[in-house]
Homo-oligomer: A and B are copies of this chain.
Amino acid sequence: MAKNKRPVKSEEHAARGRLLGAALDIFNERGYAASSVREIVKAAGVTKPMLYYYFRNKEGIYTELMTKPFEVLEKILEETAHEKLSARKRVIRLFDRIFLLFMKNLKAARLMYSIYYGPPQGAPFIDFEGYHLKIREVTGLIVKDGIKSGEFRAVNVDTLTWALIGALNFVLEEQLCQHTPMVDDKGLSDTLALIFDGVAPSKSKRKR
């Protein structure tokens, strides 16, 4: 009993995928609360109960959309934390990978940002904060390595970490804007280079 029997037509769970795509589009355009189940199912070309069949409810399809991309982030963080490169290169690699992941999930990212930094819009809670902190943590570890090895000047770890994350965040958010982004991944690496070259040790004394 409880065997694996599936009618399974030509496309497997086609409706499910179409619902996910449509929901992502509409959540991205209007936000969680302003998106109606009716709009979503209409855009997906299916009937309303289908959404309640595949996902428990409106919250269910939202939760699925918001949690999936973070599985990739976890992997990126793990990999970069243990790479054997200079601290500078590890930060650049980490941020570059995050940038790519972000671009691949731009619509989901827009929704995440607006809910993490803004009002929850009636959407169910999701621990975006945890991932934000993890990124900061890994960056902080790399910075600490860089200072220990003498690759960086002995500045305050947190301050440098903030400057770096600030640059990353700024570039990521620029991609969310309505207008054409004025900074991209090239701008990010330039900004990082500026910060790094700024804090690189030099022979001459520096004020303060």
Contacts and interface: CB of A to CB of B under 8 A. Distances in A.
A185 interface: no
The number of times this chain is found in the oligomer is 2
A7 interface: no
Binding site secondary structure of chain A = helix
Given A170-B162, A195-B163, A208-B197, A177 B129 contact: yes
Interface residues of A, number: 57
Contact of A33 (B31, B173, B199): B31
B204 A198 contact: no
A202 B121 CA distance: 50
A169 to B, nearest CB: 5
Nearest to A199: B198
A110 interface: yes
A61 to B, nearest CB: 16
Interface string A182-208: 110001001101110111101110111
A183 B169 CA distance: 15
17 contacts: A29-B120, A31-B32, A33-B121, A110-B119, A111-B119, A116-B177, A117-B117, A117-B177, A118-B176, A129-B179, A155-B194, A160-B194, A163-B195, A169-B173, A170-B170, A194-B195, A198-B198
